[in-house]
Amino acid sequence: MEIIAQYADVFIILACVFGFFMAWGVGANDVANAMGTSVGSKAITIKQAILIAILFEFAGAYLAGGEVTATIRKGIIDPSLLSGSPDLLVYGMLASLLAAGIWLLVATHFGWPVSTTHSIVGAIVGFAAVGISMEAVAWGKVGKIAASWVVSPLLAGTIGFMLFRSVQNLILEKDDPFANAKRYVPFYMFLVGFIIAMVTLLKGLKHVGLHLSYGQATLWSLVIGAAVMVIGIMLLKNIKRDEKADKEFHFSSVEKVFGVLMMFTACAMAFAHGSNDVANAVGPLAAVVGVVQSGGEIASKSAMPAWVLLLGAGGIVAGLVMYGHKVIATVGTNITELTPSRGFAATLAAATTVVVASGTGLPISTTHTLVGAVLGVGLARGMAALNMNIVKTIFMSWIITLPAGAALSIFFFFMLKGIFG
């Protein structure tokens, strides 16, 4: 307790700096994944992707980021075991932020799309198991999180596969794909608006003080979905059939219709990503702030200060703008060749999986989900459409992430303990 009182300001400053650094890493590595499909399918440019991400990542992190943060903050470690030595929790959370931030910087430098969720969960489990005791880790919760890393890519892959098959059946394999695209794409737009609105209204806005019943949320989501659909129909009116381009590539005009749809799904994915992944940076930060401000008491429930979410959202945006281009180009083009219709199916599948997970408070990996969705869309066209070498590299970087995060975190934990303890 005395150590916390003595170094209170130092701990808060370190937590803010390390938290911002971690959020910067999330922006540089993970947002690039979220935007990769849109850029890869040439539906939007890198500049447009960055602008969309700034706006919607920030909104998702601030409006809907509170739910998952609770799991990262207090779900992985049993706080009651640390009530006698709250300083250990502070060192551990600071070490976790720094360890995960450094690993993300290394991965982004090499252009690996790794999981920020893996990085932070691995770091927290590492310091708790080695620095405190094996019992300090809530292994049941960790098991659930680990299971979600397998379930989420499978779920996203399945949704992506089914969505793209529906596009093939309703539009691409018909006699007049262009007319069918104009007829059916507004319904896909409605779906995008409805899904994002539903999860945000049900789960995301609690800490802003807005509590809606299931019926009210459904009604509002239907209205928002309809509004998105109307905007989409107005934008589609400007798209005319291009006979010359269609001779070179049969679906050229159709893909332009899907290009409009990709604008909506890119916004949805950015929002979904912000809501799920801001927790990786601000969960440990909120834990440190909570312990220091209460004078060393480890509360099982502590309020999430709004400025903490703002700091996380700001860090995510900074990372994307400064270093995000490294991973953006690789994800969108290397796993499978993407067109706007394929990119749409992958992005909507991933966004749906992520927002549902955010709503249930499970910190899943956006990277795994998106890669799973892209693989699903690739499989809908047959195994030959996938670049298996890239897939292998991505899987290898996923496996390395957990031990890398844990090892760095253990090192920093004992270093901080030595400095302050």
Q: What is the pLDDT of residues 244-283, one digit of tens each?
A: 777 777 777 888 888 888 887 788 778 877 777 777 788 8
Amino acid at position 342, single letter: R
pLDDT at 78: 73
Q: Is residue 207 predicted with pLDDT exceeding 60?
A: no
CA pair distance 124, 100, nearest whole angstrom:
9
CA pair distance 248, 241, nearest whole angstrom:
13
- Residue 39 contacts by C-beta under 8 Å, 6 or more apart in sequence? 45, 46, 49, 328, 329, 332
CA pair distance 398, 112, nearest whole angstrom:
9
pLDDT at 306: 77
Q: Is residue 229 predicted with pLDDT exceeding 70?
A: yes
Report which of residues 197 and 126 the model is more confident about. 126
Give per-residue pLDDT as tens, 274-323: 777 777 788 888 888 888 887 777 765 556 677 888 888 888 888 888 88
Mean pLDDT value of segment 60-79: 67
Tokens found for residue 421:
């303890």
pLDDT band at 206, cuts 50/70/90?
A: low
What are the sequence ranges of the domains in the chain?
A: 2-420
Q: Which of 55-64, 187-196, 229-238, 397-406 has the lowest mean pLDDT?
A: 55-64
Query: Could you say which DSSP state residue 83 is in?
Result: T
Strongest mean pLDDT among 309-313, 330-334, 416-420: 416-420
pLDDT band at 416, cuts 50/70/90?
A: very high
pLDDT at 65: 65
pLDDT at 230: 93
CA pair distance 325, 142, nearest whole angstrom:
32
Q: Is residue 411 predicted with pLDDT exceeding 80?
A: yes
pLDDT at 414: 94
Percent of the chain beyond pLDDT 70? 87
Q: Which of 114-123, 194-203, 204-213 has the lowest mean pLDDT?
A: 204-213
**Are 124 and 76 within 8 A, CB to CB?**
yes
What number of residues does the chain have? Answer: 421
Mean pLDDT value of segment 33-59: 79
Over the chain, what is the mean pLDDT?
81
pLDDT at 227: 93
Q: Which of 54, 117, 27 is nearest to 328 (CA)?
A: 27
Amino acid at position 291, single letter: V
Give per-residue pLDDT as tens, 151-202: 888 888 888 889 888 988 888 888 888 888 888 889 988 988 887 777 667 6
CA pair distance 208, 196, nearest whole angstrom:
17
The three-state secondary structure class of 301 is coil
Give per-residue pLDDT as tens, 87-112: 888 999 999 999 999 999 998 887 77
